[in-house]
Structure 1
Amino acid sequence: MITESTVQAEFHGGRSRVGPLTWGQQGTWDGIHEWLPQVKPFFVLTRWLPVPLLLSVGDVLEQISELLLRHESLRTLFHASPRGDATQEVLASGALDVAVFDRPADDPVDFTDIVTDCLVRAGATAFDHDQELPIRISLALHEGIPVLVVLGVSHMAADHTGTELLVAELTAMLQARADGKPVPAPKPSVQPVDLATRQNSPDGQLLNVEAMRHLREHVARMPPPEPARAVPLEPRFVRGEIESGTLPVAVRAAARRLRTTTSVVLLSITTGLLHHLCTGPVYRLDVMQSNRLDPDLFAAVTTLNQAVKTVVDLDAADFDEVLRRSAATMVAAKRHARYDGRLAAEVLRDVHLPPGCQVNDMWSTLPRARTTSTAETTVAWPERTAHEDMALYLDTGGTPDRMRLSLMADTALLPPDGIRAFLFAFEALAEELATGDVRLERFGEVFAGVPVD
């Protein structure tokens, strides 16, 4: 029988500080409170990692404590103000409860089931950010020996890139401890309170001015909403996703051939498919940016990503023009992705935005793959919800050698068969772009030619 207990990872000697939220934190704070009591999947980022052999529970807790000391975002409480915003309080010392699940040798429960249960627990309930540190950790043991660590990180503490950095760092720290070597030093990076100070400086306010100018220009060109094409399902929004070893190879090859970046290739394929799907000459396209261009933000464990609202023209004559426009859109998005979301909300207060499409390319930020995946492409339907802010959400993620391409769609615009066709057409078009030019009309042909499941 699996026994469950709780231990604590204590931390002492850090800096104690109080400050305003960064722009990324404020946007996340507002998004979380807009949806509460519902907990959206992106509110809690879940990961797991193996523990090297021969480490004790105390060894693992020691490295967790060190991780908390290194990253102020993990030992921060967030306190709401009467105005609806918040302040962050970094704790100098404290303790984090760690759930421990010990499986005896004769127990039939598989560790995969234990991890799944821990991941579900980590994201099942909203964080009490006023009282609870923004990270939940579980430790799975076999006969008292640590085997796996499971993390649930609040989006207030880290975005997807920051969470991957945490996993890589803790993995290296545990391996060094197992090898009897000094743990790797932390990578230099800005802490959230320092970033908030930078954003409130004159240089930060200049970024705001330029971002608001860009926002007003694109809001003025926003089209009307796309008309419904079908009676929506209940729940109305459906997420389909494929995991593909073909896509990483094809997208990188296409980027090399076209002399551009993988993000631009992904955005261009998306725009080419929207050219086929949408009725108007322009379409709203929000581009999510990781905002890690500055050297001291590369390894920052905080939430930095922000979306840039743009309008894309769908009247291109050929794919080369789509590619050029996508490159220009991506350059502008990188330039204007750092801004005060509360200020943007004022700009948009009396504006009725069409739902549009949001693109979030998290895969291109991953390190290059050293191997390629030969596994077949798989399809899954992981989520259905009643309400969303956008008509389409296209996300890329996964691993360097196996891309997860995810599309959540309003079924009044794109039913499940259409979602599946979009995803497989995306994969097929990436393969074609890897080896040669593609006519813009080809996007519609490939989309229409995907067999119905």
Structure 2
Amino acid sequence: MDTQAVRSGDLTWAQRDWFFWVPLGAPAAFEANQNPRIPGFGAGRAHVVAAVRDLLLRHEGLRTLVTREGGALRQHVLPVDGARLAEAVVVTDEEPGGPVTAAAVRTAFDLGTRWPVLFVLHVAGERVREVGIVLDHSAVDAWGMRVLCGDLATAIRARARGREPMWRSEAEQPLDAARWEGSVAGERYRVRAEERWARTLTGLRESLGDHGPRDRGAVALSARPYHSCRLASGRLAAAATDLARTAGGSVSAAYLHAFGATICEVERSPAAGVFAFVLNRPSAGAMASVRKTIMHTPVAVPSVDAAPYGKAVAATAARQFDGHRFANLDPHVSERLCAHHLGPHHRTGVAFARFNFIDDSVVGPLANSRSLDAEGIRFQDPASHGRVTFGEAHMDGSEYLLTVQHGAAGALLTLSWREDTGWGPHAEGMLRHIERLMVWGASGAAERLPQLMNS
């Protein structure tokens, strides 16, 4: 394939999922910008710019425009010409974290006219000390950031030695993935995925019984209605690791189960449907791509009852694993299925929460040593453990979401919610309940079951 050729086509289901929730041109989309950084390795400025060009040639999604045509979104891959490359690279001699960095991370990418990426080269003379990268979240996910940083580092080292970079494998491109999804094989997969979603959602609706959904219509939203709080904990990470080992499931499932059980406490429901994010990278080409692939799959989690806690975690792990195979689904289809099968529970706390899990295997141990946002919290440092902190309010965000960063020496829980969900008064209590519940479960659940405490 000629990587300089302009190509156009449909979006992947994962791309559609992003724009389903964050419409193209949304004024607050910049709040979700991703901003990883890598060393410049002391390479010359020209070498780093050449490496950026190599990266853009390798990954079409970084040089793609998204436009709306006749009511549908389309993507267009552009060649790497001098003018657009110059627009994507900013050179500064200021220290990282200064005004140039602050302005860059708040870039509102107009995806119809410019690439979704910006490179900030922090230089000392002609040598590059660090490269800050700013990406519109529509183009990349956590795994993709790891790939991007690794590929750029490879290219910088190669160019500094006067060579072209050698890639380990071919990277899958968004347009090619979208073409497969529209193929006969993609259609067969879609039918199976719809059947699995329908079974799961029907089972969740039945498990909710006569539970009445919380009314969300009585709260007037402020200009910045999206809120968050976070808790770093060492004993939480240890408990998750122990639960995964004793229950025979994953560390991710241990957190997912505790989150679902905590939702049951807040919503006073017999079960909760949590949509767990999935990497959705089934091939070597997908693993080598920076493109956004992450999707979610519904997992039903029961409230904590007399059943052994370890067995309940194992059951949640099995449901989560089964859902991984069929997470990739057009969001318009999955939304229709949710509305049909969940009825009045759709978009309420018992059947709408999202769960995101990140560990060393997703982003690498270096990136996972601190929070992935601009704060860069060293959550595995004992000095950060035990305190709940609240973030600034945002114009856009998630209605119900728990993000977990898990490391060997600590975990970071970030709970996000919208003002009309009713979770605000319980937010700190929810984080502490997840911690207490998992520590209790890892200890063998011999003591009295922890109770949710309001903030």
Please classify the TM superposition score into its range, dividing by the shorter chain length.
0.7 to 0.9
CA distance in 2, matches of 1:233, 1:340: 29
Secondary structure in structure 1 of the residue aligned to 2:171: coil
From 169, 172, 185, give the equivalent of 1:203.
Answer: 185
1:28-43 correspondence runs (5 A): 28-33=18-23, 36-39=26-29, 41-42=31-32
Between stretches 119-128 and 198-207, larger displacement belongs to 119-128
Contact 1:39 1:125 (8 Å CA) reproduced: no
**Equivalent in the alignment of 2:374:** none
Secondary structure in structure 1 of the residue aligned to 2:275: strand
**CA root-mean-square deviation:** 3.3
1:58-137 correspondence runs (5 A): 58-83=46-71, 85-94=72-81, 95-96=84-85, 97=87, 98-103=89-94, 111-114=95-98, 117-137=99-119
**Shift, 1:64, TM fit:** 0.6
Contact 1:271 1:322 (8 Å CA) reproduced: no
**Equivalent in the alignment of 1:288:** 277
Secondary structure in structure 2 of the residue aligned to 1:37: coil
Q: What does the per-residue CA deviation read over 1:52-99, in whole Å, with 9 as the maximum and x for residues that have no partner?
A: 12x21111101111111111111112221112x222222233232211
Distance 1:91 1:124, change over 3 A: same
CA distance in 1, matches of 2:439, 2:130: 37
**Shift, 1:164, TM fit:** 2.1
Q: Amino acid of the residue matched to residue 227 of structure 2? A: V
**Equivalent in the alignment of 2:348:** 355
**Shift, 1:213, TM fit:** 2.5
Distance 1:274 1:61, change over 3 A: same
From 246, 252, 263, give the equivalent of 1:263.
Answer: 252
Between stretches 230-239 and 203-212, larger displacement belongs to 230-239
**Equivalent in the alignment of 1:154:** 136
Identity of paired residues, percent? 21
Q: Amino acid of the residue matched to residue 354 of structure 2? A: Q
From 165, 169, 180, give the equivalent of 2:147.
Answer: 165
Distance 1:312 1:246, change over 3 A: closer
**Equivalent in the alignment of 2:431:** 423
**Shift, 1:236, TM fit:** 4.6
- Structure 1 gaps of 5+ residues are 1-11, 104-110
Distance 1:186 1:89, change over 3 A: farther
Secondary structure in structure 2 of the residue aligned to 1:79: strand
CA distance in 2, matches of 1:398, 1:246: 11
Contact 2:300 2:316 (8 Å CA) reproduced: no
1:170-181 correspondence runs (5 A): 170-178=152-160
Distance 1:278 1:236, change over 3 A: same
Distance 1:237 1:18, change over 3 A: closer
- Structure 2 gaps of 5+ residues are 370-379
Secondary structure in structure 2 of the residue aligned to 1:283: strand
CA distance in 1, matches of 2:191, 2:447: 37
The answer to whether the aligner puts 1:408 opposite 2:404 as a matched pair is: no
CA distance in 1, matches of 2:180, 2:446: 46
**Equivalent in the alignment of 2:445:** 438
**Shift, 1:141, TM fit:** 1.9
TM-score (norm 2): 0.80
Aligned length: 421
Contact 1:187 1:299 (8 Å CA) reproduced: yes
TM-score (norm 1): 0.81
Which structure: greater strand fraction?
A: 1
Distance 1:180 1:426, change over 3 A: farther
Distance 1:400 1:93, change over 3 A: farther
**Shift, 1:219, TM fit:** 4.3
Distance 1:440 1:342, change over 3 A: farther
From 166, 170, 191, give the equivalent of 2:173.
Answer: 191
Contact 1:118 1:150 (8 Å CA) reproduced: no
Q: Amino acid of the residue matched to residue 347 of structure 2? A: P
Q: Amino acid of the residue matched to residue 432 of structure 2? A: F
The answer to whether the aligner puts 1:16 opposite 2:12 as a matched pair is: no
Q: Amino acid of the residue matched to residue 437 of structure 1? A: G
Q: What does the per-residue CA deviation read over 1:159-195, in whole Å, with 9 as the maximum and x for residues that have no partner?
A: 1210122112222333455567764424333211111
**Equivalent in the alignment of 1:272:** 261
Contact 1:50 1:148 (8 Å CA) reproduced: yes
CA distance in 1, matches of 2:164, 2:398: 47
The answer to whether the aligner puts 1:334 opposite 2:334 as a matched pair is: no
CA distance in 2, matches of 1:398, 1:58: 38
From 335, 343, 359, give the equivalent of 2:333.
Answer: 343
